[in-house]
Amino acid sequence: MSNSELISPHGSPELKILLLEGKEREEELKRAEGMPKVVMTTRETGDLIMLGIGGFTPLDGFMNEADWKGVCKDMKMANGIFWPIPITLSHDEKVDPGTEICLVSGETEEIMGTMMVQECYQIDKDFECLNVYGTTEDDHPGVKMVKAQKDWNLAGPVKVVSESYFPKDFGELYMRPAESRKIFAEKGWKKVAALQLRNPMHRSHEYLAKIAVEVSDGLFIHQLVGKLKPGDIPADTRVQCINTLVELYFDKNRVVTGGYPLDMRYAGPREGLLHAVFRQNFGCTHMIIGRDHAGVGDYYGPFDAQNIFNELWDGALECRPLPIDWTFYCYKCEGMASMKTCPHGKEDRLFLSGTALRKALSEGGEVPAEFSRPEVLKILREYYGGLKDDEKVEVKMHGHASGDAEKKIKK
């Protein structure tokens, strides 16, 4: 099977790769040293890397004001192409159009790329927050991220010269879209489902994944290895958990695991759409959308991220959702089930969520065997057991995460 038989990248017949290599990269690095420097946040750095590897095809750089406004309001760029979340770069002072700037990671101080500034503009942050996140409350981590942006947005095409520490730290797990597409083509997969993960896999994740395997040629377990909010489990621990589960409980011929460098925005429905956009660029035809996908707290309804796909116009997005109902362990069914398959009552169900699992482990709580595989729980207990008191963050339960979990997981 050839790569051309896979789903096309979003809005383009081929991947738009902005990452320079070899002599071209070395020359750009030399040029960058003489340019004014703009320091990026980890979110902006992750976005730049995704631009570089083609994950954000068809974008060629950070968005201008017309694209920013159209994306916020109508999920549509000025050229009419669907895009659900702004991809922007902020700076603390105005920069004249025509200026070439050097883009530097604020985390590592490494030169990450260059940009020709075509436009410099200011935004209404509340407008962005309300349209993209559905709230302007500072408690929302995505809103907090937007409000922390500097005063000016810089727009223009980019050249990318580094993927930061991701290839070194995550090895073969870190994957470019061209690489995942090559793997899918070699396996002869056409219908490929993506599973988004920001938590270690518990039994609900495993159940969703195996449903997808049943109805697809293969499954792409795609792990976020960028930054999360305080209290979430760090990438290296999550990767260890997921790799262990795949090794012991999946047919490895039907599963590919990969990692990508973005920070979570916790934008709920809008982020679910963004996940589908870049999974299409990685070669996936379907995106698993379960309960409270990419949500935080009680800001979104449990199935808002599924329903938003129904609001899209024809041709907006080729990657389709694989919507799956609320899942849980049923003691009477003696296995995993969903609202569509289980006839029993709430008292017979153990509702599973990453939040409930993190809360129980961080507080030294007892975790039922049905919540997660023992090999995964062992890794997580070792992680939480090694935390110092000042490293621990209180994990707050919310309505979508609790169900019966608070009753079943005892302190």
**DSSP assignments along 56-71, one per residue:** TTT--EE--HHHHHHH
Residues 115 and 105: their CA atoms lie apart, in Å, by 14
DSSP conformational letter for 119: E
Residues 62 and 167: their CA atoms lie apart, in Å, by 23
Signed CA dihedral, 12, 86, 103, 32: sign only: positive
Which of helix, strand or coil describes residue 77?
coil
Please check whether residue 366 is in contact with residue 409, taking contact to mean a CB–CB distance below 8 angstroms. yes
What is the length of the chain? 411
Residues 40 and 111: their CA atoms lie apart, in Å, by 10
Which residues have a catalytic role annotated? 198-199
Please check whether residue 191 is in contact with residue 285, taking contact to mean a CB–CB distance below 8 angstroms. yes
Q: Which two tokens stand for residue 104?
A: 């530097």
**Which helix H or strand E contains 22, and what residues bound it?**
helix 22-32
Cβ contacts of residue 404 below 8 Å, gap of 6+? 328, 346, 347, 349, 350, 351
Instruction: List 157's β-bridge partners, or say none.
Output: 61
Residues 213 and 278: their CA atoms lie apart, in Å, by 20
Per the listing, tokens 């503009």 go with 121
Residues 290 and 51: their CA atoms lie apart, in Å, by 27
Asked whether the bond before 58 is cis by omega within 30 degrees of 0, the reply is yes
Cβ contacts of residue 361 below 8 Å, gap of 6+? 367, 380, 381, 384
